Amino acid sequence: MSAQYPVIPVAGATLVRAFASLVAMVSYWLKAIARARRHRREANALAGLDRRMLADIGITRSDVSDAFSEPFWEDPTALLRERALERRWGRALMREEAAKGFSRPATNRPSQQTI
């Protein structure tokens, strides 16, 4: 006697897994598109702010236009965040340098050396 295994359930399971993979992939892309649209709406709200409000956040009008020049699937708010952090770190470094400069004694005389 030979063992006979049913072929249909094995093939059916493979089809179910393939279909589940396809559904997962489509779901991932739909979520990615929804996320990209949400980020664009958030960046568009920033585009409506005036220059002073953007300066309070740490970005400029050109930063906003650069963010919108990115492809649709790129997050424009990520570029705006990077630019704001760069400026914030730059200002912090400048303050630190200025604090170091003011703590040194200010003398205009050249140092006196004995020979």
**Mind listing the pLDDT tens digit for each residue in 37-92?**
998 898 889 888 999 999 888 899 999 999 888 888 788 888 899 999 998 888 88
Sign of torsion, CA 103 109 114 115? positive
DSSP string, 22-50: HHHHHHHHHHHHHHHHHHHHHHHHHHTS-
- Dihedrals phi, psi of 66, to nearest 5 degrees: -65, -40
Q: Is the per-residue pLDDT at 114 higher than 60?
A: no
pLDDT at 18 over 80: yes
Domain ranges of the chain: 10-101
**pLDDT above 90 for 21:** yes
Mean pLDDT of 93-103: 78
Higher pLDDT, 103 or 35: 35
Stretch 23-34: mean pLDDT, rounded? Answer: 94
Amino acid at 27: S
Q: How confident is the model at residue 108 (pLDDT cuts 50, 70, 90)?
A: low
- The pTM for the full model equals 0.57
pLDDT at 26 over 90: yes
